[in-house]
Amino acid sequence: MSGTDIIAAARAEGRELLNEVEAKTLMHEAGVPVVRTILAASAEEAKSIADELGYPVALKVVSPDITHKSDVGGVVLDLADAAAVEAAFASIVENSKCAVPDAVIEGVAVQNMAPAGTEIIVGMTTDPQFGPVVMFGLGGVMVEVIKDVTFRVLPLTERDVRQMVDDIKGRSILDGVRGAPPADVAAIADALLKVAGFVTANPEVRELDLNPMLVHDKGAIAVDARIVVATD
């Protein structure tokens, strides 16, 4: 299903929140690097997908009713073989049902493990006065704790996104600390421009979060994605 079809189907269902697999499909089509992720409806299917992707893999619950997957035991990382995938699938489903008994569980996402990197967030929100605004900052739990983020109103230029990167208080982290190599700022800028282009082309999108994206010395990749669309 194409990105246009995904958005149209969600709106037809009256569904604002796209699931993670749908959101990553849209980002992939927009040219934003994302970890390959496939939805599994059963443990057997999860094992087959993991074999196809190659180990190690991560499993994550997919549910419109569960936002913080890790908090409910809905994420298991670094699974090295089929037996581990089967056990993790069962554990994720059980944990999720115990934590949110009425949750609709669409399945479990299977994805490759990404190499460790500097965590950033790339996203957008809709301001009631200015319309779509793109966001950048340090990602992972850092965005919730220190809220070191910057915003810009669309449209964006290369100069705009470079300035967004330079404006965060933790900018020096991207230069490399404790022997870590500098982060690929050009890859960050490219992701911001790609997200801006996607939002411009899809005005139905109201919110978008790629958190975290992992930035390396060469390249950056999103390991999680969240997209909200308007249904009216």
pLDDT of residue 174: 94
Domain ranges across the chain: 36-113, 118-229
Round to whole Å and give the CA distance between 107 and 43.
10
pLDDT of residue 1: 76
pLDDT, tens digit (0-9, with 9 covering 90-100), for 108-121: 999 999 999 999 99
Does this model's pTM top 0.85? Answer: yes
pLDDT of residue 142: 65
Round to whole Å and give the CA distance between 183 and 174.
5
pLDDT, tens digit (0-9, with 9 covering 90-100), for 119-142: 999 999 999 999 999 999 998 776
CATH architecture under which domain 36-113 falls: 2-Layer Sandwich (3.30)
Residue tagged 């059980």 (tokens): 94
Q: Is 31 helix (H, G, I), strand (E, B) or coil?
A: coil
pLDDT, tens digit (0-9, with 9 covering 90-100), for 41-78: 999 999 999 999 999 999 999 999 998 899 999 999 99
118-229 carries CATH number 3.40.50.720:
no
